[in-house]
Amino acid sequence: MGIIRALEAKLRVDDWNAHQRIGQAVRVLLDDGSFRKSKTRGEAWVASGQPLVQVEGISGGYSLYRVVADWKEGG
């Protein structure tokens, strides 16, 4: 993993945590291309160079590249 990629992941996590709260309504892009409404279950973190966040209904961490805050629902 490159230094730039690691820094980008950390910056994405820091920005997410600074602007989103636990319980934030989000839309999650699933593998089949559809979106699922959910809520975050904790703060974001970096693992194996990937920015992750826990969301309701999905076990483990989910990539912040596939999660967007849903401003229409409590954002």
Domain chopping of the chain, boundaries: 3-69
Residues 22-64: pLDDT tens digits? 999 999 999 999 999 999 999 999 999 999 999 999 999 999 9
Residues 5-26: pLDDT tens digits? 999 999 999 999 999 999 999 9
For residue 51, give both structure tokens. 């920015």
**Domain 3-69, what fold?**
SH3 type barrels. (2.30.30)
pLDDT of residue 70: 87
Q: Using DSSP, how many helices (H) and how many strands (E) does the chain show?
A: 1, 6
| pTM of the complete model | 0.87
